[in-house]
């Protein structure tokens, strides 16, 4: 009997201990959950404090810099000799002598070809003989008149003087016809390849040789109308040609059109490059490069520029980061930057990333880069 009573008491104690342990465990679990919930709420509150307003447009900004454009205007041009002429025959005739060979240099006035001129030689000799006779007659009449002789009158002297002048003119004419059968170089240059042969007949106006002065070359090229403000005489240019790989030649602009081609919207420009060694030949193709400008202009990231039917524009950030639309004209681009003509000042800020989301009057929130993230990237 006592054993049964002891067993019942033991079971009752065990049941009581179980209830106590269960109660203690439930209380601890509730406190832990309460602390966890509180921590979560605190984190949510902190996160909400660091986030941007829900009605703001998040963008990044960039400062406007004033720098000279570093781009270069590129074009393709063709070289021309500074002087080139097709030497022709003023008179018809047969080639008697050739004084030059192809690819040889001549000076101004050097003979190139002599045509047969026997007839002109005869006429010249005859005119000279007539001149001698008229000169002797005039001298004799003039002497007699000066001596007071009645054998000659003043009228006879005047007539002899006139005859002498006519004789001199005939000699000059005959000499001209004789000399013009020698074709001479009008300027210094180089003789091109030709097919001249002694004995060949040249009709009047026939081309004899081509004379080229390539001591300097003229290179003509075109630039877009947007670059016309950068074109002026004296601007240096750099030229390269595929015929001479690795060589760079320096020249300068000497002239340009005063009007714009309406079809292609370009301007024709002419530059001159010195060629003392005759390395450059007329007809060569040249790649032309010239600095676009040395005047500082507003520079902004290319992503800041937006387009509308009325043209290009950027969003400038004013007081309280309120966006202000500024119309711009693009002048140059290099990599990720563009140079503009715009009402912008040094230090102005423009919207960079996210510009397409901005509109007039919208609230702007600037995104700030995380320094720890930058250090991690670095």
Per-residue pLDDT reduced to its tens digit, 84-132: 999 998 899 999 999 999 989 999 999 999 999 999 999 999 999 999 9
Residue with the bigger pLDDT between 368 and 283: it is 283
351 has a pLDDT exceeding 50: yes
Q: Is residue 303 part of a domain?
A: yes
Amino acid 42: pLDDT: 42
13 has a pLDDT exceeding 80: no
Output the DSSP codes for 157-214: HHHHHHHHHHHHHHHHHHHHHHHTTEEE-SSSEEEPP----TT-EE-TT-EEEEEEEE
Mean pLDDT of 34-54: 44
Question: 347 is in which domain, residue-wise?
Answer: 57-70+295-377
Q: Is residue 5 part of a domain?
A: no
Among 291, 318, 353, the domain boundary falls at: 291
Among 291, 322, 337, the domain boundary falls at: 291
Band of the pLDDT at 12, cuts 50, 70, 90?
Answer: low
Residue with the bigger pLDDT between 29 and 245: it is 245
Of 244-258, 276-290, 311-325, 362-376, the range with the lowest mean pLDDT is 362-376
Buried b (16+ CB within 10 A) or exposed e, 92-111: ebebeebbbeeeeebeeeee
Amino acid 149: pLDDT: 80
The total number of structural domains in the chain stands at 3
Residues 121 and 150 in one domain: yes
> For residue 230, what are its two tokens?
């950068």
Q: Is residue 31 part of a domain?
A: no
Are 110 and 185 within 8 A, CB to CB?
yes
Amino acid 362: pLDDT: 84
- d(CA 115, CA 367) in angstroms, rounded, equals 89
Amino acid 31: pLDDT: 43
Band of the pLDDT at 373, cuts 50, 70, 90?
Answer: very low
Residues 303 and 366 in one domain: yes
2 has a pLDDT exceeding 80: no
Amino acid 372: pLDDT: 44
Task: Give burial (CB, 10 Å; 0-12/13-18/19+) of 10.
Answer: exposed
Q: Is residue 3 part of a domain?
A: no
Residues 172 and 271 in one domain: no
Q: Which CATH number does the domain housing residue 299 bear?
A: 2.40.420.20
Mean pLDDT of the chain: 82
Closest listed residue to residue 204, CA positions, set 183, 184, 176: 183
- d(CA 79, CA 146) in angstroms, rounded, equals 69
Mean pLDDT of 33-48: 43
Residues 193 and 93 in one domain: yes
Residues 102 and 198 in one domain: yes
Residues 302 and 371 in one domain: yes
Amino acid 56: pLDDT: 78
Q: What is the pLDDT of residues 183-233, one digit of tens each?
A: 999 999 999 988 889 999 999 999 999 999 999 999 999 998 878 877 889
Amino acid 37: pLDDT: 41
Residues 99 and 190 in one domain: yes
Q: Which CATH number does the domain housing residue 240 bear?
A: 2.40.30.170
Amino acid 307: pLDDT: 92
Q: Is residue 34 part of a domain?
A: no
Q: What does the DSSP 8-state code read for residue 269?
A: E
- Phi and psi at residue 307, in whole multiples of 5°? -125, 145
Residue with the bigger pLDDT between 12 and 328: it is 328
Residues 110 and 160 in one domain: yes
- d(CA 267, CA 254) in angstroms, rounded, equals 14
Q: What is the pLDDT of residues 289-328, one digit of tens each?
A: 886 556 788 999 999 999 999 899 999 998 888 899 999 9
Among 161, 182, 202, the domain boundary falls at: 202
Residues 264 and 305 in one domain: no
Amino acid 55: pLDDT: 67
């Amino acid at each position: 009997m006592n054993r049964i009573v002891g067993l019942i008491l033991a079971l009752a104690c065990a049941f009581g201990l179980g209830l106590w342990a269960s109660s203690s465990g439930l209380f601890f679990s509730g406190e832990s959950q309460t602390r966890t919930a509180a921590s979560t709420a605190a984190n949510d509150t902190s996160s909400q404090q660091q986030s941007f307003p829900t009605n703001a447009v998040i963008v990044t900004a960039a400062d406007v810099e004033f720098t000279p454009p570093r781009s270069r205007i590129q074009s393709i041009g063709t070289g021309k000799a500074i002087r080139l002429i097709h030497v022709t025959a003023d008179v018809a005739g047969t080639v008697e002598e050739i004084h030059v060979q192809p690819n040889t240099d001549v000076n101004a006035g050097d003979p190139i070809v002599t045509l047969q001129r026997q007839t002109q030689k005869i006429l010249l000799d005859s005119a000279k003989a007539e001149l001698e006779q008229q000169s002797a007659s005039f001298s004799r009449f003039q002497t007699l008149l000066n001596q007071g002789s009645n054998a000659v009158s003043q009228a006879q002297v005047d007539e002899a003087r006139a005859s002498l002048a006519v004789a001199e003119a005939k000699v000059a004419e005959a000499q001209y016809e004789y000399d013009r059968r020698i074709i001479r170089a009008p300027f210094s240059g180089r003789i091109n390849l030709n097919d001249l042969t002694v004995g060949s007949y040249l009709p009047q106006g026939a081309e004899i040789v081509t004379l080229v002065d390539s001591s300097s070359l003229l290179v003509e090229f075109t630039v877009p109308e947007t670059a016309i403000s950068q074109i002026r005489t004296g601007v240096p240019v750099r030229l390269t040609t595929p015929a001479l790989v690795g060589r760079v030649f320096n020249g300068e602009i000497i002239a340009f059109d005063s009007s714009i081609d309406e079809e292609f919207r370009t301007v024709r420009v002419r530059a001159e490059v010195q060629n003392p060694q005759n390395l450059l030949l007329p007809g060569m193709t040249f790649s032309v490069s010239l600095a676009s400008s040395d005047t500082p202009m507003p520079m902004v990231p290319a992503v800041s520029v937006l387009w509308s039917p009325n043209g290009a524009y950027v969003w400038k950030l004013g007081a309280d980061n309120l966006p202000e639309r500024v119309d711009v004209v693009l002048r140059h681009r290099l990599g990720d930057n563009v140079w503009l003509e715009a009402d912008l000042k040094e230090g102005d800020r423009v919207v960079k990333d996210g510009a397409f989301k901005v509109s007039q009057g919208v609230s702007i929130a600037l995104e700030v880069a995380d320094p720890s993230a930058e250090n991690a990237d670095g």
